A and B are shown apart, each in its own frame.
Chain A
């Protein structure tokens, strides 16, 4: 789950007195997704067969799923190949469930054909501690044994707590721990954009 770490749009800093600083505009988000799509095509292209091999995009709910769908559409546009897109919820595998009130579960939707022996590109909006990705890797392993797993994120904000890194990064943003990255997608929030806000109080900030 990614909602609570940066707070929903409703409790964005703008409404609480601390103005959110825009990091990526709507046009920047589109451009960034296009760039990641090109990088994925370049990296997974099959040098012999021409296509993109058995590659599957798996988003981590909520906004990772949206990002995965956007990447899938961009890859189809640029390469002519439509990759299977799905989602795997990591909530049930988190190591911090006992520390917070009960979290709602996200959607799990493994595409037909499964992930066995596929190259899985795991997709999330913000990478911070790496704990969500760790949980997602565990969840993914329950659905099959991929040939390899790579990670694509829109924003890497640092503060890693586990030895995890992303293979594709839209934007690296140095942040303080008490700041929040607010990612918005049209499908969920009505508008595209990434901004940085200082959190008020103690919620959020950590993953």
Chain B
């Protein structure tokens, strides 16, 4: 594995391999006072974030540090980006400084692919091998989020194949939804996307999932329900009449959560807008796996760094 840009680059064996590594890393660090592994000593990991983020950026940084890599954070604010430097020049600058891995979040879909192709071309001239990880590109993909969601489902439900998983809400603007649909389908899950028709992307019919617009009809048969954040910052039109109306139709209230089977888990990629897509009591209930998702995020990102950086460069 050279880059991690899209979950569609992963077949079932590769995805399972990453999840296995994440589980082993979690096990290896369990109960330890010193959470530090020497595995990536001397490797440099740079996070390059053009959008705000708490958990993704911090968990990548922690993942790198726990494996003894040197991690450096660059954000668009406070870097030369604010002076007008292009994405290409910033990326190649970081690569030229010797970054073994660049982790990118950018509002433009496809930006991680662009950076990876520049890095590959640059490698021919400089000999520097830089891996690129997509940490969210516009409304396209967020592969490590899908991997940590898969790790959480596997941990809490004992497996992924054959489980029915609902993804609910703003699918149109959600890279998390897109990555999850494809990864979970690759791993054999039955995925149901539930959203108001205005919040479904063009082409959703070709996705490996079923589409529904009635949440109450789907809930009783779900093993896991993943609530998506309504992405107000990406909404430049009127997709639904009001927040209240959205919450009534698609928010996971306590009454609605009661429709779920007893073993079902409630997930949310965060950040949550409590009272909008999820009721506070549901988010804090024992069936909620939300903090477990965050914990798994560190181990999954350690696994990604291990697979990208630990072995021989092919």
- Taking the complex as formed, is A142 at the interface, i.e. its CB lies under 8 A from any CB of chain B? yes
Tell me if B281 counts as interface (CB < 8 A to partner A): no
Residues of A within 8 A of B28 (CB): 89, 92, 105, 108, 139
Instruction: Tell me the bound Cα distance from A102 to B302 in angstroms.
Output: 13
* Residue among A97, A102, A107 with max Cβ neighbours from chain B (10 Å): A102
* Known contacts A97-B39, A97-B310, A98-B311; A105/B34 CB under 8 A: no
The number of chain A residues touching the other chain, given as a range, is 20 to 34
CB of A51, distance to nearest CB on chain B (Å):
26
Against A, the Cβ 8 Å flags (1 = close, 0 = not) of B11-36 are 00000010011001101101110101
How distant is the Cα of A108 from the Cα of B67 in the complex, in angstroms? 16
Contact status of A99 and B312, CB under 8 A, knowing A92-B37, A104-B21, A138-B38: yes
Contacting residues, chain A, for B39 (C-beta < 8 A): 92-93, 97
B34: A residues at CB distance < 8 A? 142
- Bound-state CA distance A101–B27 (Å) is 22
A6 and B222 CA atoms in complex are apart in Å by 46
A108, B27: Cβ atoms closer than 8 Å: yes
Q: Which residues of B have CB within 8 Å of A97?
A: 39, 310-311
Residue of A nearest to B306 (CB): A102
Q: Which residues of B contact A106 (CB under 8 A)?
A: 24
A103 B38 Cβ-Cβ under 8 A: no
Please name the residue on chain B nearest to A97 by beta carbon: B310
**B residues contacting the other copy or chain, number (CB 8 A):** 23
Cβ B24 vs Cβ A105 within 8 A: yes
Q: Which of B1, B30, B38, B312 contacts A92 (CB 8 A)?
A: B38
Tell me the smallest distance from the CB of B302 to a CB of chain A, in Å.
10
Residues of B208-255 whose CB lies within 8 A of A: none
Query: Is B307 on the interface with A (CB-CB < 8 A)?
Result: yes
B311 touches A101 (CB 8 A): yes
**Central interface residue in B1, B37, B67, by most chain A CB within 10 Å:** B37
* A92 to B28 CA separation, bound complex (whole angstroms): 10
A28 proximal to B (CB < 8 A):
no
Interface centre among B20, B34, B37, B310 (most CB of A within 10 A): B310
* Given A89-B24, A102-B311, 4 new contacts (CB under 8 A): A92-B306, A97-B310, A107-B24, A108-B28
Determine the chain B residues whose CB is within 8 A of the CB of A107 once the complex forms: 24, 27
Decide if B125 is an interface residue (CB 8 Å cutoff): no
- Cα–Cα distance between A101 and B17 once the two chains are bound (Å): 13
B67 surroundings in chain A (CB, below 8 A): 92
A188-B302 Cα distance, complex, nearest whole Å: 28
* Docked complex Cα distance between A139 and B28 (Å): 9
CB contact under 8 A between A142 and B32, given known A92-B39, A109-B27: yes
A178–B274 alpha-carbon span in the complex (Å): 63
A20–B30 CA distance with the chains assembled, in angstroms: 41
CA distance in complex: A110, B31 (Å): 10
Is B314 located at the chain interface by the 8 A CB criterion?
yes
- In the assembled complex, the CB of A94 is this many whole angstroms from the nearest CB of chain B, namely 9
Cα of A142 to Cα of B30 in the assembled complex, Å: 11
Residue of chain A at shortest CB distance from B23: A105
Find B311's partner among A89, A103, A110, A143 (CB 8 Å cutoff): A103
**A105 B21 Cβ-Cβ under 8 A:** yes
Do residues B311 and A100 form an inter-chain contact, with CB atoms below 8 A?
Answer: yes
Most chain B C-beta atoms within 10 Å of own C-beta, residue among A92, A99, A139: A92
B22-65 with Cβ < 8 A to chain A: 24-25, 27-28, 30-32, 34, 36-39
Which B residues lie within 8 Å of A102 (CB)? 1, 306-307, 310-311
Cα A41 to Cα B17 in complex, Å, equals 39
Partner of A104 from B20, B312, B314 at Cβ < 8 Å: B20
Q: Which residue of A lies closest to B303 (CB)?
A: A105
The residues of B that contact A100 with a CB separation of less than 8 Å are: 311-312
Neighbouring B residues of A105 by C-beta, 8 Å: 20-21, 24-25, 28
Q: B1 — which chain A residues lie within 8 A by C-beta?
A: 102
Quick one: which of B81-117 are within 8 Å of A by CB?
none
Give chain A nearest CB distance to B14 CB in angstroms.
11
Report B275-313 CB contacts with A as 1/0, cut-off 8 Å.
000000000000000000000000000000011001110
Give min CB distance, B261 to chain A, whole Å: 31
Contact yes or no, A101 B314, CB < 8 A: yes
